[in-house]
């Protein structure tokens, strides 16, 4: 009976009772009073060290505040030092379980969510985590000094009320199933952190969070060590049992990718994720691999594919026409690149929501057509046909021309229809201006991947100039939208929501440092995001996100690149142990940091027990 009631509530309204967690579309996987998540080892010993290497695109850090716009924080800091009201499970989508909050209740009308804080919750300085700290954290994150992404994601939050010392209520402007999870996942920090300063001046003040780790020894430019808090308030909580097992997490910094790989082979750190198929196939070897000390592991997952893409800045006049953008995509020969450069290690990205129930497939159904039809005049006709599929070169439709040549002929026709013709070997518009684009990269190594596309574009008369800059300038130019083309690896999600207004909303297109790098300004997109956010029932939600997938994909704002269905990591098997169960939805390095442990401690614990 309870299951039937839960289904009815999910379809019509919001549950009114207090619960140990919140699920977006139905019942939680783990019941009240569960002992631990299924993918951890609840008896994992505490102690030892894991030594990591920063795989961030920048190689250094200059602040401890991960929430402000300027500067770069150390790797992993936010996840290790700041707890939130709710925390997700790595084997479940669209759900959160009480961490700082012992229960959450959502009003039947969906216009508020109330969280009861645990009395044992403590910050690193020993202070209790109180409702005023939750409100302060929210007010700070939507203030003037943080990324605009917070403001966009929280745009439908009307405010926060402190009901008593340990009870806080978020009020919403309208019902939105996603918002309890969104606000429940916000980091909570002490009001005393940087007290008296504007938040943008809180730079190297040591954060006062409530997470399992604190900042330990730091060598700027070389490494940072996080120390496990032996008095961590949630160490025995069910959502934390079997996690945060290492006493020390050291993150080493290398400015050169070759030096980083050689340091792994020399045993200077214990785990490294690989994003280069060439490195993984040809360069991960040595005596420590031969002896079995270092092991190459490919770990399967069921994460959304994400949409790593070439981002086309449609604010640039030459990229404003959808026919031009489509033509540029036809010059990408992924199949050749995968064979010749990637060792057949990747699959092609096909849309925004690959590997999720939000992915558009086949022809739009009646529900999607109802959402798309009002915007027919402003959308490419292809939006109303089959779901987008990137052009291929290994399955030519024309057996005579075939492959890439066929695609380039289509591209040439599209460019001509958009007013671009080849004169004296150069593609020019009616004003005689040549078609020149700049590809903005953050390191010299990116040229290798861009070069095949450059060569194909040259055949069309398009000049693509590769422009590598240091990361600080790269970041600044992205924030100000001062680029033509770049590559961004957008993470995927099974439950897209208000955050997509930051990625594709019209307001975000004019907001500096927003996520709308491509400059999408489309009433159709704005409408679909609003419908996605406001949906009361799962079928309506799926129709909206699938329609959005079609509009963005057929708008060719992003030219899809590639993804991997496995996490490739080399790790020290003599120093690290991992749980028997691998979760479904996890990032490789953070999974290791959260749930692995130092090998050999089990034997020490057993000997200690016998001696006692």
Check if the beta carbon of residue 156 is closer than 8 Å to that of residue 173.
yes
Q: How far apart are CA 235 and CA 240, in angstroms?
A: 6
Predicted local confidence at residue 605, as pLDDT: 56
List b or e across 521-560, with b for residues whose CB sees 16 or more CB atoms inside 10 angstroms: bbebbbbbbebbbebeeeeebbbbbbbbbbbbbbbbbbbb
Q: How far apart are CA 99 and CA 87, in angstroms?
A: 6
The tens digit of pLDDT for each residue in 217-244 reads 998 878 999 999 999 999 999 999 999 9
Residue 249 has pLDDT above 50, yes or no: yes
Neighbour-count burial of 32, counting CB atoms closer than 10 A to its CB (0-12 exposed, 13-18 middle, 19+ buried) = exposed
Ordered structural domains, the chain, with CATH: 2-38+64-217+226-243 (3.40.190.10), 254-303+566-578+602-611 (no CATH), 309-563 (3.10.105.10)
Length of the chain: 612
- Reference 325, options 334, 316, 333; nearest CA is 316
CA distances from 480 to 71, 201, 476, 489, 524 (A): 15, 21, 6, 19, 25
The tens digit of pLDDT for each residue in 502-522 reads 999 999 999 998 999 999 999
Residue 267 has pLDDT above 80, yes or no: yes
Q: Which whole number is the average pLDDT over 577-589? A: 94
Residue 610 has pLDDT above 50, yes or no: no
Check if the beta carbon of residue 348 is closer than 8 Å to that of residue 390.
yes
DSSP 127: P
Residue partners of 77: CB distance under 8 A and separation at least 6: 64, 66, 207, 215, 226
The structure tokens 């309208």 sit at 174
Check if the beta carbon of residue 481 is closer than 8 Å to that of residue 313.
yes
Q: How far apart are CA 137 and CA 150, in angstroms?
A: 12
The tens digit of pLDDT for each residue in 444-473 reads 778 999 999 999 999 999 999 999 998 889
DSSP 571: E
List b or e across 275-285, with b for residues whose CB sees 16 or more CB atoms inside 10 angstroms: ebbebbeeebe
Predicted local confidence at residue 14, as pLDDT: 45
> Based on C-alpha coordinates, what's the Rg of the chain?
25
- Reference 589, options 565, 568, 562, 564; nearest CA is 568
* Local confidence band at 18 (pLDDT 50, 70, 90 cut-offs): low
The tens digit of pLDDT for each residue in 239-248 reads 999 999 999 9
Q: How far apart are CA 522 and CA 530, in angstroms?
A: 12
Dig out the tokens for 206 from the structure: 């040591």
Residue partners of 126: CB distance under 8 A and separation at least 6: none
Sign of CA dihedral 260, 263, 265, 268: negative
- Reference 378, options 561, 182, 522, 577; nearest CA is 522
Neighbours of 31 (CB within 10 A): 9
294 CB-side CA count, 13 A: 22
pTM: 0.83
Predicted local confidence at residue 370, as pLDDT: 98
* Local confidence band at 397 (pLDDT 50, 70, 90 cut-offs): low
* Local confidence band at 400 (pLDDT 50, 70, 90 cut-offs): low
Dig out the tokens for 122 from the structure: 């403590």
Q: Which whole number is the average pLDDT over 558-579? A: 96
Opening angle at CA 161, ends 160 and 162, nearest 5: 125
Residue 132 has pLDDT above 70, yes or no: yes
Predicted local confidence at residue 398, as pLDDT: 63
358 CB-side CA count, 13 A: 24
- Quick one: residue 141, left, alpha or beta (phi over 0 = left, psi -120 to 50 = alpha)? alpha
Check if the beta carbon of residue 485 is closer than 8 Å to that of residue 439.
yes
Predicted local confidence at residue 10, as pLDDT: 35
The tens digit of pLDDT for each residue in 349-394 reads 999 999 999 999 999 999 999 999 999 999 999 999 999 999 999 8
CA end-to-end distance (rounded Å), the chain: 51
């Amino acid at each position: 009976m309870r299951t039937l009631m839960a289904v009815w509530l999910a379809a019509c309204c919001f549950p009114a009772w207090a619960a140990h967690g919140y699920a977006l579309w139905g019942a939680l996987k783990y019941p009240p009073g569960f002992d631990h998540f299924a993918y951890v080892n609840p008896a994992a010993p505490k102690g030892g060290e894991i030594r990591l290497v920063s795989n961030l695109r920048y190689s250094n850090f200059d602040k401890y505040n991960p929430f402000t716009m300027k500067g770069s924080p150390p790797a992993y800091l936010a996840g290790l030092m700041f707890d939130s009201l709710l925390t997700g499970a790595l084997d479940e989508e669209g759900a959160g379980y009480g961490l700082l909050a012992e229960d959450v209740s959502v009003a039947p009308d969906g216009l508020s969510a109330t969280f009861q804080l645990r009395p044992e919750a403590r910050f690193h300085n020993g202070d209790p985590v109180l409702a005023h700290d939750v409100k302060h954290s929210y007010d700070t994150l939507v203030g003037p000094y943080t990324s605009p992404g917070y403001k966009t994601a929280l745009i439908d939050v009307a405010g926060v009320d402190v009901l008593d010392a340990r009870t806080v209520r978020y009020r919403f402007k309208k019902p939105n199933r996603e918002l309890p999870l969104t606000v429940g996942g916000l980091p909570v920090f002490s009001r005393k952190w940087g007290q008296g300063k504007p938040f943008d001046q809180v730079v190297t003040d040591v954060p006062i969070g409530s997470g399992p780790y604190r900042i330990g020894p730091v060598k700027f430019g070389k490494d940072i060590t996080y120390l496990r808090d032996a008095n961590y308030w949630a160490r025995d909580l069910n959502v934390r049992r079997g996690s945060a097992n290492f006493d020390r997490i050291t993150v080493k910094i290398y400015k050169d990718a070759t030096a980083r790989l050689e340091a792994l082979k020399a045993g200077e750190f214990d785990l490294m994720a690989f994003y280069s198929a060439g490195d993984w196939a040809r360069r991960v070897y040595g005596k420590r691999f031969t002896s079995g000390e270092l092991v190459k592991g490919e770990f399967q997952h069921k994460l959304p594919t994400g949409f790593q893409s070439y981002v086309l800045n449609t604010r640039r006049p030459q990229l404003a026409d959808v026919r031009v953008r489509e033509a540029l995509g036809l010059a990408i020969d992924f199949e050749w690149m995968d064979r010749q450069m990637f060792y057949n290690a990747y699959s092609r990205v096909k849309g925004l929501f690959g590997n999720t129930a939000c992915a558009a497939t086949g022809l739009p159904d009646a529900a999607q057509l109802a959402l798309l039809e009002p915007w027919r005049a402003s959308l490419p006709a292809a939006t109303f046909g089959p779901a987008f599929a990137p052009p291929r070169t290994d399955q030519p439709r024309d057996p005579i021309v075939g492959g890439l040549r066929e695609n380039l002929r289509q591209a040439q026709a599209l460019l001509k229809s958009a007013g671009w013709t080849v004169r004296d070997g150069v593609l020019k518009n009616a004003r005689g201006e040549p078609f020149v684009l700049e590809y903005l990269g953050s390191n010299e190594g990116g040229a290798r991947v861009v070069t095949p596309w450059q060569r194909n574009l040259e055949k069309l008369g398009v000049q693509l100039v590769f422009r590598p800059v240091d990361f600080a300038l790269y970041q600044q130019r992205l924030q100000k939208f001062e680029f033509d083309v770049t590559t961004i690896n957008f993470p995927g999600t099974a439950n897209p929501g208000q955050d997509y207004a930051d990625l594709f909303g019209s307001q975000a297109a004019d907001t500096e440092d927003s996520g709308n790098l491509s400059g999408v300004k489309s009433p159709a997109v704005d409408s679909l995001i609003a419908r996605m956010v406001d949906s009361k029932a799962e079928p309506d939600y799926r129709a909206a996100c699938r329609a959005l997938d079609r509009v963005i994909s057929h708008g060719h704002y992003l030219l899809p690149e590639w993804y991997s269905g496995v996490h490739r990591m080399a790790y020290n098997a003599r120093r690290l142990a991992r749980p028997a169960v691998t979760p479904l939805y996890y990032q490789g390095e953070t999974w290791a940091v959260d749930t692995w442990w130092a090998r050999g401690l089990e034997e020490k614990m057993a000997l200690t027990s016998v001696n006692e």
